[in-house]
Chains A and B, each alone.
Chain A
């Protein structure tokens, strides 16, 4: 069927989104930083935002690697 590797790529992207939720909700959301007084909330948000950005970059890198792997023949073409 035309576009079969793209169906597979969409499915992998979907799995990565689910996996992202598995990391963010039970682990990162529960991180609590204390000991900085009034700055606790801000530092907590900055750390979580930083981790989220790192995860997004990691997600893009993984997608890029998978893209090269799945579409190697097509891209070379």
Chain B
């Protein structure tokens, strides 16, 4: 146990310091190469470096490989490969805009290392209060679905400065706590870098952003979260911790009624007031999103909307932790 604690502190430090140290250099390189995008929510014309995915992946690889050096296992290897493949999918999408279906299909392929390395066994789905169901064939299909769903869910919440990284920081630490509660200590250890990488990246992503994670960053975070949930057998708990982002995707899909990239939506769900606060659009053709609902009661600053999302995430994280305790009860 002491070994695990020391390694846990070490990999957390490696994850945090790597991202914290690399990101400023990445911002300089991206800015020098003109890899910048306009931040539409700023009154004064502002451009922000993108994507931050490389520094996020560097933090994850450095810490997970350190963990692998101490405790080699197929589970950690599966997390590393799946996360790296998801990064590649996102990085391609960052450089070249691809169709709405490309990402889900490519991310589904990213899940294959989990299956090929047998990191998912036993193939059962655990529910709170009622135990688990063994679904050998269906579980394989579920693995292939979970990675693209989680990746795109995190990508869809990356709408304002600091939201995706702040959201992932809260959800990841909640997942670590949940994994400890259900006694999956090894995977809890492997999940620590995700929270610390997100926290370090938040330093540069918060309002006013100096860098955006881009698809490569958001998909890397989402795919790693999905891989941890499968390998740790906490799929339901992990989904509960992500409920604000799930709601965002659900509202978006139920209003546009098809799988489509956010950039393809013509009517913006959010507009600006004269003092550049965010305000819900009155355009009936604009999609319903989480931010639009938060703004329904009146305009807010970008920072205020971010904090409402963080409060919602803390609430769903608390529900996820309650659910983990309910896993221990079998009616």
Contact = CB atoms under 8 A, between A and B. Distances in A.
Interface of A: 2-3, 5-7, 9-11, 13-14, 17-18, 20-22, 24-26, 28-29, 45, 48-49, 52, 60, 63-64, 67, 71, 73-75, 77
B312 A45 contact: no
B128 A18 contact: yes
Given A2-B300, A3-B294, A24-B133, A64 B254 contact: yes
Contact of A10 (B247, B280, B323): B247
B236 A21 contact: yes
Interface residues of B, number: 40
Given A21-B236, A45-B137, A63-B250, A6 B130 contact: no
Main SS class of interface, A = helix
Given A25-B132, A48-B138, A74-B293, 4 more contacts: A14-B240, A17-B239, A21-B130, A25-B130
User: Which of B138, B243, B296, B304 has the largest count of A CB atoms less than 10 A from its CB?
Assistant: B296
B46 to A, nearest CB: 26
B122 interface: no
B244 interface: yes
Interface of B: 127-135, 137-138, 236, 239-240, 243-244, 246-247, 250-251, 254, 280, 282, 288, 290, 292-294, 296-297, 300, 304, 308, 311-312, 315-316, 319, 323, 326
User: Which of B243, B290, B293, B316 has the largest count of A CB atoms less than 10 A from its CB?
Assistant: B293
Nearest to B304: A2
Nearest to B282: A77
28 contacts: A6-B244, A6-B247, A10-B243, A10-B244, A10-B247, A10-B312, A10-B315, A10-B319, A14-B323, A17-B236, A18-B129, A20-B127, A21-B128, A21-B130, A22-B129, A22-B130, A24-B127, A24-B130, A25-B130, A25-B133, A48-B138, A49-B138, A63-B250, A67-B251, A71-B296, A74-B293, A74-B296, A77-B280
